[in-house]
Amino acid sequence: MVILNQLLPKSLKQKNGFFVAVTAALVLIALHNPFSGYITTQEVPFLEVLPLSPFCDEGWRVEMGGIEYFCQNGRQVSKMPFVEWRTVHAAFPWLSKVGSMLSVFLAIVTGTVLWILLYREEK
Cβ proximity of 32 and 90 under 8 Å: yes
User: What's the whole-number mean pLDDT along residues 74-93?
Assistant: 87
Q: Is the pLDDT of residue 44 over 90?
A: no
| Sequence-separated (6 or more) residues with CB below 8 Å from residue 123 | none
Which of 61, 63, 82 is CA-nearest to residue 72? 61
By percentage, how much of the chain surpasses pLDDT 70?
Answer: 66
What's the pLDDT band for 25 if we cut at 50, 70, 90? very high
What's the pLDDT band for 27 if we cut at 50, 70, 90? very high
pTM: 0.69
Q: CA 12 to CA 106: how far, in whole Å?
A: 23
Q: CA 23 to CA 30: how far, in whole Å?
A: 11
Which of 81, 95, 83 is CA-nearest to residue 33? 95
Give residue limits of the domains in the chain: 1-38+82-123, 41-79
Q: Is the pLDDT of residue 11 over 90?
A: no
